[in-house]
Copies of this chain bind each other. A is one copy, B any other.
Amino acid sequence: MKDIYSKTTVNINGEILDAENAKISIFDRGFLFGDSIYEVSYTTKRNILFYEEHMDRLFNSAKLLNMNIFIDRDKLTQEILKTLKASNLDDGYFRLIITRGESEISLNPNLSTHNNFVIMVKPRPSYSNELYIKGIDLLLSNVIRNPKNATDPNAKSGNYLNNVMAIAEAKKKGYSDAIMVNGNGQLTEGTTFNFWIIKGNQVLTPMSDNGLLMGITRHKVLELKNIDDLEMKEAELFPKDIFEADEMFITSSTRGVMPISKILTNDGLKEFQSFEKTNRVANAYGQLVENYLAESKYKY
């Protein structure tokens, strides 16, 4: 239990707190209804990665949920930098959560007249080298991704039970994590990551229209457009495409580009042997990250 607070620094509404004493009102709508939005990024040598992109997405999540943000973006930036400084970590993970504040116990979001914000900073998680060499094993979950017109997956919110249920199913079946289809059987995304299917020189990721969170890493890889003969683009993908794939990989802010070793589906197991093209994408993305950090404006 105590480990979860280790080396963790918290800022609630501007006040730096020890993690163990970092508490929020039970009347906060984030606690009552999951009525919150958040972003996660990390730092390398005291530079924040893709800061503007994360903040743009945060404000887009707010827009998708009709959430008023009463806090200035510059103020949030100052508070994030202040918390990172206080953490004294060179390579940190940070999570920014903004809620619709305390209100009466009513779903009506118009009762919200302020926000609460929480910033959590902890050491940047390290994933074992083996995962990058051998890949991560995934389940194609029977839990369907929430539809866009119900609870839009592109709003990065405090409603994560859909994803919790998918990962619970994966763990039960002995797998590390899960990917999901939508109600039309189209592939969408993983519980906390996007994924990609390589067929020949096509490097494909599910279309945003199919209902998924538009990951920053996903966006950066798409922006690369080409790596020599490899072509990155969105596509409508189905479970059958998994079986036609040469290679597959995941992308996420904390994990970067990580190969997939195997995927268990209701139609059988697909295993991947080669990660050659995945490694080329990983290298290109790694270079992009290095270039960004060299010019980063968000240092602490």
A141-198: which have CB < 8 Å to B?
Answer: 142-147, 149-151, 155, 157-165, 167-168, 171, 183, 191-192
A71-121: which have CB < 8 Å to B?
Answer: 95, 97, 102-105, 107-110, 113, 118, 120
Q: For the complex, give the distance between the alpha carbons of A155 and B28 in Å.
A: 21
A10-69: which have CB < 8 Å to B?
Answer: 10, 12, 19, 22-28, 30-36, 65-66
Q: For the complex, give the distance between the alpha carbons of A161 and B230 in Å.
A: 40
* Residue numbers in B under 8 Å from A36 (CB-CB): 31
With contacts A26-B22, A104-B4, A191-B107 taken as known, whether A150 is within 8 angstroms of B150 at the C-beta atoms is: yes
Q: For the complex, give the distance between the alpha carbons of A295 and B17 in Å.
A: 50
Please tell me if the beta carbons of B161 and A34 are within 8 angstroms of each other in the complex.
yes
* Residue numbers in B under 8 Å from A35 (CB-CB): 160-161, 164
What is the interface size of chain A, counting residues whose CB is below 8 A from a CB of the partner? 62
* Residue numbers in B under 8 Å from A66 (CB-CB): 165, 168
Q: Report if A292 contacts B (CB, 8 A).
A: no
Give the B-binding residues of A (Cβ under 8 A).
Answer: 1, 3-5, 10, 12, 19, 22-28, 30-36, 65-66, 95, 97, 102-105, 107-110, 113, 118, 120, 122, 142-147, 149-151, 155, 157-165, 167-168, 171, 183, 191-192
- Per CB-CB distance, the 6 closest pairs between chain A and chain B, nearest first, are A34-B34, A23-B23, A33-B160, A159-B159, A144-B150, A159-B161
